Amino acid sequence: MKKIIHLIAAARPNFMKIAPLYHALNKADWCEAHIIHTGQHYDANMSDSIFADLMLPEPHFHLGIGSGSHAHQIGNVMMAYEKIVLETERPDFLVVVGDVNPTAACSQVATKLHIPVAHLEAGLRSGDRRMPEEINRLVTDAICDTLWTPSPDADENLRREGHPESRIVRVGNIMMDSFELLRDKIDAEKAPEKHGLDLGNYGVVTLHRPSNVDEYDTLKSLMDNLVEVSKKIPLIFAVHPRTKHSLEKHGLWDDIQSLESLKLVEPVSYIPFMSLVKSAKIIITDSGGIQEETTYLNIPCLTLRENTERPITITQGTNKLVTIDDLMENVTLVLDGKWRTGTKPDLWDGKTAGRVTQEIKKWLMV
């Protein structure tokens, strides 16, 4: 009888992390991989179209949790997933990814029911417990049976927290697998041309973190700076629903929407987004995964955050933490050709899903 493996997907980065693993497991004759979509991202451009891009089937189970407070999401995911496990399908193995609320929630359900759980992308730490994602990482790593890490710094974080070596397995960065899986489609997409952008002469902007977009003063200052940057290089801004809501709420949407040099677009699915990223001269963001993708592609990345859970993108890659006040200064360095050249971290090679599949096979002894 084939082993049943559940893959938890909640938000856009999760979809990209489970896709290569789903396809790798789907080729195996000893297991069936089933996707559990918790429904944290329910906007079609942030969910359905990305599933299509990644050649994923309809989720086998859809919890439909939606938005809400952290307690609301975690509690409802736990109840909904527990019901599936107890009443419909008990998996032989569970894989959770990333650092969203359902990652911590489903880990707890499975652990309490004595189902083996692996955390893919374990060991990442920002050191900032004000970020709910940091709490999710700590909780998840504390209870998972095996911890699959993307980089040496993640290994060290886990060792420092007292995790035994037997639980720590560096498998590499599965985000790169998604890019390589779809590289031909990304190359064929030609998204910059569709938006009237010159290859290698534009910037991509993504912003969604509450610290950047919720409060008027910060958001206004950030938009003013982006307008100034756009006078030096055209920008395309994929506007997250949270950011759009805040821009409209604070009366800023109409002003920036009218600018030709700062092009606003709705959230972009994976293939067209990576088509934009791979030909950009600069990325301005507060997201997590794109820090890794730009390091992989050797593209300058300015991250508007106080810290990052992906420090290897700074020490080895092309990423740098910046503030609103020094954003223009760093943009100028990029435009003047003074940005450093990064290198790819070890095992960021597009083959992580294969290594993970072998780890699951060893765990289940099949």
Instruction: List C-alpha distances in Å: 126 to 93, 107, 322.
Output: 28, 21, 15
Please state, in angstroms and rounded to a whole number, the distance separating the CA atoms of residues 123 and 137.
Answer: 7
Closest residue by Cα to residue 9 from 174, 179, 243, 134 = 174
Q: What is the mean pLDDT of residues 25-47?
A: 80
Query: What tens digit of pLDDT does each residue of 299-342 get?
Result: 999 999 999 999 999 999 999 999 999 999 999 999 999 999 99
Q: What is the mean pLDDT of residues 150-169?
A: 97
Angle 85-86-87 (CA atoms, 0-180°, nearest 5)?
A: 100
194 sits in which H/E element? helix 191-194
Identify the band that residue 44 occupies on the pLDDT scale cut at 50, 70 and 90: very low
Q: Which domains does the chain have, with CATH numbers?
A: 3-173+348-364 (3.40.50.2000), 184-335 (3.40.50.2000)
Cβ of 20: how many Cβ atoms within 10 Å? 26
Identify the band that residue 40 occupies on the pLDDT scale cut at 50, 70 and 90: low
Query: What tens digit of pLDDT does each residue of 66-76 get?
Result: 778 889 999 99
Please state, in angstroms and rounded to a whole number, the distance separating the CA atoms of residues 117 and 108.
Answer: 9
Q: Which of 8-17, 216-225, 292-301 shows the lowest mean pLDDT across its residues?
A: 8-17
Mean pLDDT of the chain: 94
92: left (phi over 0), alpha (psi -120 to 50) or beta: alpha
Contact 366, 3 (CB under 8 A): yes
Against a cut of 0.85, is the pTM above it?
A: yes
Query: What tens digit of pLDDT does each residue of 138-149 get?
Result: 999 999 999 999
Take residue 359 and report the two structure tokens written for it: 């780890």
Annotate 28-69 with three-state secondary structure: CCCEEEEEEECCCCCCHHHCHHHHHHCCCCCCCEECCCCCCC
Identify the band that residue 268 occupies on the pLDDT scale cut at 50, 70 and 90: confident
Please state, in angstroms and rounded to a whole number, the distance separating the CA atoms of residues 305 and 107.
Answer: 28
Please state, in angstroms and rounded to a whole number, the distance separating the CA atoms of residues 337 and 200.
Answer: 12
Q: What is the mean pLDDT of residues 166-193?
A: 97
Positions marked active-site = 208
Q: What percent of the chain has pLDDT over 90?
A: 88
pLDDT of residue 47: 59
pLDDT of residue 53: 83
Residue whose entry in the numeric block shows the structure tokens 């497991």:
25
Identify the band that residue 50 occupies on the pLDDT scale cut at 50, 70 and 90: confident
Q: What is the mean pLDDT of residues 51-78?
A: 89
Contact 102, 73 (CB under 8 A): yes
Take residue 104 and report the two structure tokens written for it: 């911590």
Judge whether residue 118 has pLDDT over 80: yes
Contact 262, 256 (CB under 8 A): yes
Judge whether residue 132 has pLDDT over 60: yes
The dihedral built from the CA positions of residue 306, 308, 312 and 318, taken in this order, carries a sign that is: negative
Reported in sequence order, the residue ranges of the chain that DSSP labels E, i.e. its strands, are: 3-9, 31-37, 61-62, 93-97, 117-120, 146-149, 168-170, 203-206, 235-238, 262-265, 282-285, 301-303, 319-321
Judge whether residue 152 has pLDDT over 90: yes
Q: What is the mean pLDDT of residues 290-304?
A: 97
| Beta strand 203-206 pairing with 61-62 | unpaired
Judge whether residue 45 has pLDDT over 50: no
